């Protein structure tokens, strides 16, 4: 990744890095492996020297952009839970998951090239996403808003299935319907009245 001196980046350097990573996701999604560093730098509003100083190779940039998308997805959980009830927070996060899956799908060729070069961009992404789902589901269960018999791994499988079939931008309406259907399936059953 970018050089690691152990010190946090200056605010302006961090902003540049964030802009580069966001632009890289957009450009690699649109152009795949044909993406040019010059276009990424231009879209990020930085010079190519700044881009190369932070990300000296295509593989390093692709991996950093992907890992940044995973981090953004997972880091959103506390803010969502602070801003809305757990069930709504889960639904908002599910939409973000589809955004992440759409970006990942768009970057598929670029990510395959990173894997072929011997790197593993996926590293801890599965565990990070599982932790995010677990946190959201635990909050929903504690609030009585979600069933307690569904595991986070089940939820991840459902989201992955929706992403597999509906992560392309042209299928977003279908993805939203499937997310709503999945969330409805997580409603706790009403209490049973005693017979008699």
Q: What is the pTM of this model?
A: 0.85
**18 contact partners, CB below 8 Å, separation of at least 6:** 68
Structure tokens at 191: 């209490």
What tokens were used for 174?
């279908």
**17-72 confidence digits (pLDDT tens):** 999 999 999 998 888 778 889 999 999 999 999 999 999 988 899 999 999 999 99
Question: pLDDT tens for residues 90-122?
Answer: 999 999 999 999 888 888 888 888 888 888 888
Measured CA distances, 66 to 5, 123, 178 (Å): 22, 11, 25
What's the rounded Cα separation, in Å, for the pair 182 and 166? 14
Task: Give the SS3 label for residue 166.
Answer: helix
d(C-alpha 196, C-alpha 194), whole Å: 6
Axis-axis angle for helices 125-142, 152-166 (nearest 10): 120
């Amino acid at each position: 990744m970018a050089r690691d001196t152990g010190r946090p980046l200056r605010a302006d350097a961090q902003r540049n890095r964030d802009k580069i990573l966001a632009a890289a996701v957009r450009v690699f999604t649109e152009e795949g492996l044909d993406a040019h560093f010059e276009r990424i730098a231009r879209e990020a509003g930085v010079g190519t020297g700044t881009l190369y100083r932070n990300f000296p190779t295509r593989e390093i940039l692709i991996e950093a952009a992907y890992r940044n998308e995973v981090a953004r997805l997972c880091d959103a959980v506390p803010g969502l839970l602070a801003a809305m009830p757990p069930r709504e927070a889960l639904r908002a996060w599910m939409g973000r998951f589809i955004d992440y899956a759409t970006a990942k799908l768009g970057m598929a060729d670029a990510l395959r090239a990173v894997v072929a070069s011997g790197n593993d961009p996926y590293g801890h992404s599965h565990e990070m996403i599982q932790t995010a789902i677990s946190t959201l589901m635990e909050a929903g269960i504690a609030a009585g808003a979600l069933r307690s018999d569904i595991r986070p791994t089940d939820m991840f499988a459902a989201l992955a299935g929706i992403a597999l079939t509906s992560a392309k931008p042209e299928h977003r309406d279908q993805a939203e319907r499937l997310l709503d259907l999945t969330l409805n399936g997580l409603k706790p059953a009403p209490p049973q009245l005693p017979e008699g």
